[in-house]
Structure 1
């Protein structure tokens, strides 16, 4: 067990690291892009349109190619997604989000490797995906989530 003073020191340093992240240029760019996205009516309309079509897409996926509107809905989904992705605010937000995730991944890797070379660290936002494996290695370790 970690001694009390060591525990307090770790908490203090982790809080300081969190504050440094919140003051970073990468986070500020992410925050600004997010704010610009949520304040843009056109971007919000495109996102809403895509989400509405995505519900239809999920219904089509239950039946696959046998769904009577399969081709039409698949084309519609691609069209709406493309329109959404080509919006300047959406594109800027996605770029800023990827950069911020990269910073967080880099920090996680640095911390993990300072403890041991054997600690597995998710990369490229893999912590946000559900691999079904509890260790974050993408299932390559062979463990199974129960």
Structure 2
């Protein structure tokens, strides 16, 4: 592939787009929420403990209810997850992550639809999936296997 002026222009525009995304309000909120979570030593310790518990949970899942610590680990993992989910900093981080993901989904849809309306783009938000020609329009590619109007 030869580098042409058109390719150079596309690369410059891609760099400009990434700079705009990184300087967006959503990116700033995500960085701020991330810093709030990971600057709290106690919260970081809880997250690390949850990570270790997740490893035990995965081990228990291999054997199911026949694992000797099944009930204990299942209860502990739910308690730790609930404790983390109710933490205001973790909740703010999750919201900031969702907002940033929505921004990335919107950009992906704009770029893909500038190429062709038929381009399928995986998005995390069902609102964007429907506006992009999702299953409700028969565009799922299963030939109606999912009960859409193909």
What's the TM-score bracket when you normalise by the shorter of the two chains? Answer: 0.7 to 0.9
- The correspondence of residues 67-86 of structure 1 with structure 2, limited to 5 A, is 67-86=67-86
Runs of 4+ in 1 over 6 A off after TM superposition: none
Please identify the structure whose Cα radius of gyration is greater.
2
SS of structure 2 residue aligned to 1:17: helix
Equivalent position SS for 2:117:
coil
Give the Å deviation of 1:42.
2.2
Instruction: Provide Cα deviations, 1:70-91, integer angstroms capped at 9, x if missing partner.
Output: 1111111000111111111111
Corresponding position of 1:120 = 120
Q: What residue is the counterpart of 2:9 in the other structure? A: 9
Structure 1 residue 9: deviation in Å?
0.9
Q: Report matched runs for 1:1-146 at 5 Å.
A: 4-124=4-124, 141=141
Contact 1:40 1:89 in 2 (8 A): no
Question: What is the match of residue 135 of structure 1?
Answer: none
C-alpha deviation, 1:7, in angstroms: 0.6
Match of 1:130 in 2: none
Contact preservation (8 Å) 1:50, 1:77 = yes
Q: Which deviations, in whole Å up to 9, do the C-alpha atoms of 1:22-81 show, x marking residues without a partner?
A: 111111000111111110112212101211111111111110011121111111100011
**Secondary structure in 2 aligned to 1:124?**
coil
Where in structure 2 are there 5+ consecutive unaligned residues?
126-139, 143-150
TM-score by length of 1: 0.81
The superposition leaves residues 88-134 of structure 1 with CA deviations (integer Å, 9 ceiling, x where unpaired) of 11111111011101101110011000100111111017xxxxxxxxx
TM (norm. structure 2) is 0.79
Count of equivalent residues:
128
Query: In 1, distance between residues paired with 2:89 and 2:41?
Result: 10
Could you tell me which runs of 5 or more consecutive residues in structure 1 were left unpaired when the two chains were aligned. Answer: 126-139
